[in-house]
Structure 1
Amino acid sequence: MCGIVAVFGDVDGNVAAAAESAAARLAHRGPDGSGLWMRLGSAVLCHRRLAIMDPAQGKQPIRGRDGAAVVHNGEIYNFRALAEALAATGRRCVSGSDSEVLAHLYEERGEACVEALDGIFAFAAVHGDDWMVARDPIGIKPLYYGRDRAGNLWFASELKALIDNCVSFEVFPPGHLMSRSGGLRRWYAPPWLRGEPGEPGDPAQLRRSLSDAVEKRLMSDVPLGLLLSGGLDSSLIAALATRLVRARDARAEIHSFAIGVAKDSPDLRAAREVAQFLGTTHHEVSFRVEDGIAALDDIIRHVESYDIPTIRASTPMYFLSRYISDLGVKVVLSGEGSDEIFGGYLYFYYAEDPQELQRETVARVANLHLSDVLRADKSTMAHGVEARVPFLDLKFLDLAMSLPPELKQPRGAGRGGEARVEKWILRQAFADDADPLLPSSVLWRQKEQFSDGVGYGWVDGLRAHAERVVSRRELAQAAERFPYATPATAEAYVYRDRFAALFPGEHAARCIVRWEPRWQTDSDTSGRANPFHRAAGEGARRLTG
């Protein structure tokens, strides 16, 4: 939810006006209202609101009892418990907004307030002469920071709010906070993230823990839906959410959403099967390859990246989010994070040993804020829709990342012997023949990357378009034009070219990290480039046939 801009330093009227103008560039993140708070010579806070909790109240910047001011992008899932504890100390919340607890907590605990939060957030807080900015542990909510020519510090939810105001800027790291007195420091550092052994996780707890993660993310005062690709991850989230909602209201109507370039695309077929099994009100959206190509400028403007898999996957998610927003749905549950946690991408078949696999899963989770969660947030928030990601719940994450790594290696599913399947431990946790959560064909479906699953013609069409519009000469001279992050293919050149036009300069380019699969000879990011794409699929069919 929402978009924020904060400036700290020698703030005058001109700086405040520039900050308010920068916040207007984030209107897509908060179409339900705007707000501004400032103290001349010190700070200005700007907010664009997507009203999810207590839409009638909760306007930001939000104030504490003793005068603190806060702007927040995200959701605090344990806000009711925090509000009760605050009330016992005389700090009573006056709205049903989850963001209000941040102002009171900051007044009471200072920087230590972040340690009490269970949720997703990027927020800036001011109290007297002190201020702080913090980002959630995994970076599910985006945040950037930089300095203007006068030395003022700027913070914003998206690059587009900083590009004309700062002479230097970068990604604000997840799990960190910055304060006036203490500078930048990490506050979230569990053993698994540091590469240190901890207490081994119990795989028997996976099902209960993921269900708890989904349940807390059903918190909403506005309509909520389900993103459903028909893959294992989104289908598990959809199935758990459907059961939880129907346990409260057996007749509740639950909306699920899928997208593809053709009616017979892999994801649409599988999502259709899941929706029928779950009994959701299902929506199928189609887009044409030429429409996706025509929208590339808009996609790059919103997701602020030139990374190939990010652009490929953002396009269908962008179109689907527009459809969802038009229906009046503001919150969706999604399956991001599972592949990074459990080694679900097909290139993980090549990991030499469990320890190498574990190191790669840690690296992928640590960089999610530069890849899949960035794509999920910005593609949906382009249309004022918030994506929630239960797999990245902190309790579930601590459990899953502490599992013995050999349990995450591709292995036989026990239903045919010889075949191997990725994410076996997660699939097995939900394999209950007596009370199936999903059809077996979906529970054991091979990993299909989103940009492939919407229809193989999408990626093929992008490549063909790039080959037509990028000349051999341009590609040969790419290093001269783009000495940093030089594009090696025509498709990469198209994205790098458009990004440079929208976000000029090396500071912007350095905010992006390009992802390539490890351990395989073909560096293309499409899952189809991996030889296991077909072999693993045949194995999965043997297991379920």
Structure 2
Amino acid sequence: MVGRPDPSFGLVDGELMPDSSLRPGADVPAHGVGTLASARRDGDDWRIARDPLGLNKLFWARDAPGSIVLAPRPHLLRAEGLSFDAVHAVPRGAVIDIGPDGVRHTLMTVPPHQEDAGRPLDEIAADIRFALDGYLAAVASAAPDATAVVCCSGGLDSSGILALANRHFGRVLGVSFDFRRPDARPSEDRVIARRLCDDLGVELLETDVDRSGLLEHLDVVLLEGADWRDFNVHAALVNAVLAESIAGAAGASPLVLTGDLANEFLADYHEERYRGETYYRLPRLGPSALRRWLVAGLDSTHRELGVFGAWGLPVVQPYAAATQHYLSLPGSFLARDDAKQQLCREVFRDLLPGYVLTRQKTRAQVGDPDIGGGVLAACIDQGIDQASLRHRFAELHKLDRLADLDHFIRAGRYRSAVPEENA
């Protein structure tokens, strides 16, 4: 094992996954959610595991017959002199026992779900709320001294997590990203984050950066995020700025909470236009199929855990606890323009004020167009486009052929395999 996996917050039957489940030979839960990447050794036996959505990452490469090297990032395997072509991800949901008697591979999945057009929205929302509260309560109980640091964009997803975290953790700190501008005018994201934190009685750490300060994190993002695609890199750049700020100001035992995943679960993404070009292209799919494609794509970016992990910060993604309930929402509901607003009204009820529930979504990658745009504009204006990100990723991973990347991420998934399948 080279390096250490990012901290895991796996959930089984409504409780944090016990440490005993990760030991070689232990019973494997049939279903699980949350983040998990683990490699445990007991004598000559190993157990390797990864969560069913692929939120946490673990890679391996064979260095000799009968011998593999594991690492949480591909660049660590390259630093060991292993070929990039030999790097595979541990399959998502895989639990692999390796010992003198060979390799045994089992699979852990997301709890069963199916789209249910006939089920009332308030019932699904109640299940989501119950799952979120239960997960946060379990994490808070396991880490009683932690400061919950919630990334606050002022949007629905992060605002809901901030409000819930404030009910479960003894100390909560909000953190807000914004670009530094000559006129010192804050973005709407910052304005809403300030107002919400004031209303909840939560301290807000305001993190401001100019374009050059943002882009100096690019190499760290490409290495620790294990991805070169523009949307994920742009999101990871924001996280890198936040991580640096949190690491310097949050005090002891910070635990980062994000509102990530809700966009995938609700297929809440769209393409963007800048300087006449289209970015963040999506496949032409209906809402249900698009959601499946987006959720599958969580396997192949480490824009959250990996990037915060570069600053030693553990990350909890609370929406993972309600995965099966989100996935039960029918495509007809996802197709509604107000789907997220309607769902959040039911999930969070009186916890979120009207000014949060009714505001228009603005992504940090795009920013407010009337005050200079966001990360997308910052990158494109400096000539950092999809092609240049791809080239830089290849350079950092010391690849001789750019085409090798085509085999590493394909159709939104990492190249993955159980070690015995490539003996």
Matched position secondary structure for 1:423: helix
Matched position secondary structure for 1:451: coil
Which ranges in structure 2 are unaligned for 5 or more consecutive residues?
A: 272-280, 413-423
- Which residue of structure 1 lines up, in the alignment, with residue 107 of structure 2? 186
Structure 1 CA distance for aligned equivalents of residues 112 and 19 of structure 2: 31
Q: What is the deviation of 1:117?
A: 6.0
Question: Is residue 429 of structure 1 aligned with residue 346 of structure 2?
Answer: yes
Q: What is the deviation of 1:289?
A: 0.6
Alignment partner of 1:492 out of 344, 362, 386? 386
Residues 7 and 315, structure 2, Cα contact 8 Å, conserved in 1: no
Q: What is the deviation of 1:457?
A: 4.2
Residues 160 and 348, structure 2, Cα contact 8 Å, conserved in 1: no
Structure 2 CA distance for aligned equivalents of residues 404 and 196 of structure 1: 5
- Which residue of structure 2 lines up, in the alignment, with residue 464 of structure 1? 381
Q: What is the deviation of 1:189?
A: 5.6
- Which residue of structure 2 lines up, in the alignment, with residue 504 of structure 1? 398
Residues 227 and 257, structure 1, Cα contact 8 Å, conserved in 2: yes
Matched position secondary structure for 1:224: strand
Per-residue CA deviation, residues 328-371 of structure 1 (Å, 9 max, x unaligned), is 35311110100111122246xx9999x93112212211221323
**Higher Rg of the two aligned structures:** 1
- Worse-matched range after superposition: 331-340 or 311-320: 311-320
Structure 2 CA distance for aligned equivalents of residues 442 and 197 of structure 1: 28
Question: Is residue 112 of structure 1 aligned with residue 27 of structure 2?
Answer: yes
Residues 214 and 237, structure 1, Cα contact 8 Å, conserved in 2: no
Per-residue CA deviation, residues 65-116 of structure 1 (Å, 9 max, x unaligned), is xxxxxxx84135579978xxxxxxxxxxxxxxx874346xx36xx2633447
- Which residue of structure 2 lines up, in the alignment, with residue 161 of structure 1? 76
- Worse-matched range after superposition: 380-389 or 441-450: 441-450
Structure 2 CA distance for aligned equivalents of residues 429 and 438 of structure 1: 10
Structure 1 CA distance for aligned equivalents of residues 13 and 125 of structure 2: 29
- Which residue of structure 2 lines up, in the alignment, with residue 403 of structure 1? 329
- Worse-matched range after superposition: 506-515 or 159-168: 506-515
Alignment partner of 1:254 out of 150, 172, 176? 172
Q: What is the deviation of 1:450?
A: 3.1
Residues 224 and 307, structure 2, Cα contact 8 Å, conserved in 1: yes
Structure 2 CA distance for aligned equivalents of residues 126 and 241 of structure 1: 34
- Which residue of structure 1 lines up, in the alignment, with residue 20 of structure 2? 101
Q: What is the deviation of 1:278?
A: 1.2
- Which residue of structure 1 lines up, in the alignment, with residue 242 of structure 2? 320
Alignment partner of 1:288 out of 190, 204, 210? 210
More strand by share: 2
- 1:359/1:127 CA distance change after superposition, 3 Å: same
Residues 422 and 447, structure 1, Cα contact 8 Å, conserved in 2: no
Per-residue CA deviation, residues 456-484 of structure 1 (Å, 9 max, x unaligned), is 14321211110xxxxxxxxxxxxxxxxxx
- Which residue of structure 1 lines up, in the alignment, with residue 278 of structure 2? none
- 1:301/1:352 CA distance change after superposition, 3 Å: closer
Structure 1 CA distance for aligned equivalents of residues 410 and 242 of structure 2: 25
Question: Is residue 137 of structure 1 aligned with residue 52 of structure 2?
Answer: yes
- Which residue of structure 1 lines up, in the alignment, with residue 124 of structure 2? 203
Which ranges in structure 1 are unaligned for 5 or more consecutive residues?
A: 6-21, 24-46, 49-71, 83-97, 246-251, 411-419, 467-489, 516-545
Letter of the 1:74 partner, please give it: S
Structure 2 CA distance for aligned equivalents of residues 81 and 297 of structure 1: 37
Structure 2 CA distance for aligned equivalents of residues 352 and 302 of structure 1: 27
Per-residue CA deviation, residues 401-450 of structure 1 (Å, 9 max, x unaligned), is 1123322222xxxxxxxxx4242442231474xxx212212113233223
- Which residue of structure 2 lines up, in the alignment, with residue 365 of structure 1? 295
Number of aligned residues: 381
Matched position secondary structure for 2:228: coil
Residues 160 and 352, structure 2, Cα contact 8 Å, conserved in 1: yes
Query: Following superposition of structure 1 onto structure 2, how do residues 1-400 of structure 1 map, counting pairs within 5 Å?
Result: 5=1, 22-23=2-3, 47=4, 73-76=7-10, 100-102=19-21, 106=23, 110=25, 112-115=27-30, 119-150=34-65, 152-165=67-80, 166-167=82-83, 168-180=86-98, 181-188=102-109, 190-192=111-113, 202-205=123-126, 206-218=128-140, 219-220=142-143, 221-245=145-169, 252-262=170-180, 263-327=185-249, 328=251, 329-346=253-270, 356-371=286-301, 374-393=302-321, 396-400=322-326
Structure 1 CA distance for aligned equivalents of residues 59 and 10 of structure 2: 20
Letter of the 1:450 partner, please give it: A
- Which residue of structure 2 lines up, in the alignment, with residue 27 of structure 1? none
Q: What is the deviation of 1:310?
A: 1.4
Residues 121 and 135, structure 1, Cα contact 8 Å, conserved in 2: yes
TM-score (norm 1): 0.62
Q: What is the deviation of 1:499?
A: 0.7
Structure 2 CA distance for aligned equivalents of residues 118 and 370 of structure 1: 17
Structure 1 CA distance for aligned equivalents of residues 292 and 14 of structure 2: 32
Structure 2 CA distance for aligned equivalents of residues 123 and 199 of structure 1: 39
- 1:99/1:191 CA distance change after superposition, 3 Å: closer
Matched position secondary structure for 1:285: strand
Q: What is the deviation of 1:231?
A: 0.8
- 1:172/1:431 CA distance change after superposition, 3 Å: closer
RMSD over aligned Cα atoms: 3.4
Q: What is the deviation of 1:150?
A: 4.2
Structure 1 CA distance for aligned equivalents of residues 327 and 31 of structure 2: 21
- Which residue of structure 2 lines up, in the alignment, with residue 29 of structure 1? none
Displaced runs of 4 or more, over 6 A: 78-82, 195-199, 350-353
Residues 203 and 425, structure 1, Cα contact 8 Å, conserved in 2: no
Matched position secondary structure for 1:369: helix
**Identical columns (%):** 23
Considering Cα pairs closer than 8 Å and 6+ residues apart, tell me whether 1 or 2 has the greater RCO.
Answer: 2
Structure 1 CA distance for aligned equivalents of residues 244 and 411 of structure 2: 26
Q: What is the deviation of 1:317?
A: 1.1
Residues 421 and 446, structure 1, Cα contact 8 Å, conserved in 2: no
Matched position secondary structure for 1:163: helix
